[in-house]
Amino acid sequence: MIKSLIDKILKPRAGASAKAGKTRIPTGKRVDVPASVHGIDPSLVDDRAIRVVETLQNAGYEAYIVGGAVRDLLLGLRPKDFDVATNATPEQVKSLFRRAFIIGRRFRIVHVVFGRGRENEVIEVSTFRAYLDASAAEQVAGNEKTSRKELADKSHVIDASGRVLRDNVWGPQDQDAARRDFTVNAMYYDPKTGVVVDFHHGIKDAQKRVLRMIGVPEVRYREDPVRIIRVVRFAAKLGFEIEPKTREPLQEMAQLLSNVPQSRLFDEMIKLLQTGHARASLDQLRKQGLDRGVFPILDAVFDEARRHPGREQFVQLALADTDRRVSEGKPVAPSFLLACLLWHDVQDQWKRLMAKGEPAFPALQAATDSVFDARIGDISGRGKLASDMREIWTMQPRFEKRVGNGPLTLVEQPRFRAGFDFLRLRGQCGEVDPALASWWEAFSLADAPERKKLLDEARHQESARRAAQAANGEVVDAPAKKRRRRRRKPAGEGGGGDAAQD
């Protein structure tokens, strides 16, 4: 009895080893599930993904379709993307394909490219990775940018918060499955044999429509805080419930997102909004208490105190329009949706600047710059994104001027359709007269004689409006005067050849 008591006192408590930094690898138990049980429809599998798997297998390597594609196949969905996992190293993979490129520093993977131009498709191939204890990794004080020299030639590195900065240590398949995030994303499908390899009861969780983290959720969120966003996105996209132990640490761990590079967070936010489940994603963020302080752009949407009258309706229309386009297989541009989300911020700034005496158009340009810098900041592709958003916003006042050659010039703008769609949404929520959007739609589709007729009608409507203003004693806003361009005098004809100012 005394011996058993001593043993009990000296025996490490459950979880003590994890706190000491020695995390048990949650490798699970391999189960090979045949096609007769899992029921995946082979016709839903991309031929190019099959070719990549077969090429690797024929060269003597293990290879499987992996991750979200397997999950979607089990749910009877046609996956948008196909990833492959193998025990071949990136260099060995690259040597087997004519067009293959090794990319990435944090995770080195291979992109195998089929087709060219807009019709190309990329199959992402990753090497089985080892599940490594964070205590065994090298640690740096900074991040990817500030510690770039320290990260050189290192394969397993974490920062001070435990976030993984490098993870390029190859390992066995069971450890590769253990280091994936959720059980439903940790399955491997062999299209040749039809077998699904399942280490963590992923098939059962997919059938129950449950998102469950592999391992200790707090540890996994610390390794990669972006998993906090991913669990929300998958719950919204798939209509899954988040298992309690996976859900409970979310709010507490959300502070770790401040260590994630801004550009990566921005990419995750775009995935939230542009995968066809934008409204469900925002609802899920609210449900999990993550609707403040995660994305500056979404703070502008969620913050009730700053919400402009009609903003909620406008944003909901924009989200619904994006979801509709995705469901119809139409392209969606992040610039359009972001322009919708931040439009009322721009309007508020614009009005304040004009109240201080700034001319309308320069005030609008200044407002767009200010809002973009505050809400989006320094991200990859910033210049193109800012240009497209600014063009959509600055186009709005031009839609109200339907005289002269302005409309003919405007419909030829490359971003006219995006600007018009934005105007249409404004009309639907009552911000502008819906008839204005109808007129522009008719004008953009009309031939030359019909356009002339529409311009004449617009001119008569404008004259009638001014007459009504005058009859009611209102101040009639004078039409803009055309600026006459002075002809440049040839050099030598007086004036010393100086250029005339327009």
- Active-site residue 83, yes or no? yes
- Active-site residue 299, yes or no? no
Cα–Cα dist 63/54, whole Å: 8
State the catalytic residue, choosing from 46, 159, 174, 181: 181
3-state helix, strand, coil in the chain (%, to 5): 55, 10, 35
Torsion of CA 231, 202, 90, 160, to 10 degrees: 40
What's the one-letter identity of residue 410? Answer: L
Q: Are 253 and 225 in contact, with CB atoms under 8 Å apart?
A: yes
Match 């993870």 to its residue by tokens. Answer: 167
Length of the chain measured in residues: 502
* Short-list 82, 28, 25, 15, CA closest to 205: 28
- Count of CB atoms within 10 A of residue 379's CB? 15
- Count of CB atoms within 10 A of residue 400's CB? 11
209 contact partners, CB below 8 Å, separation of at least 6: 238, 239, 240, 241
Cα–Cα dist 293/199, whole Å: 36
- Active-site residue 477, yes or no? no
Q: Are 38 and 197 in contact, with CB atoms under 8 Å apart?
A: no
For helices 360-375 and 382-399, the axis angle rounded to 10 degrees is 150
State the catalytic residue, choosing from 83, 198, 323, 345: 83
Phi, psi of 453 (to 5 degrees): -65, -45
Residues with a catalytic annotation lie at 81, 83, 181
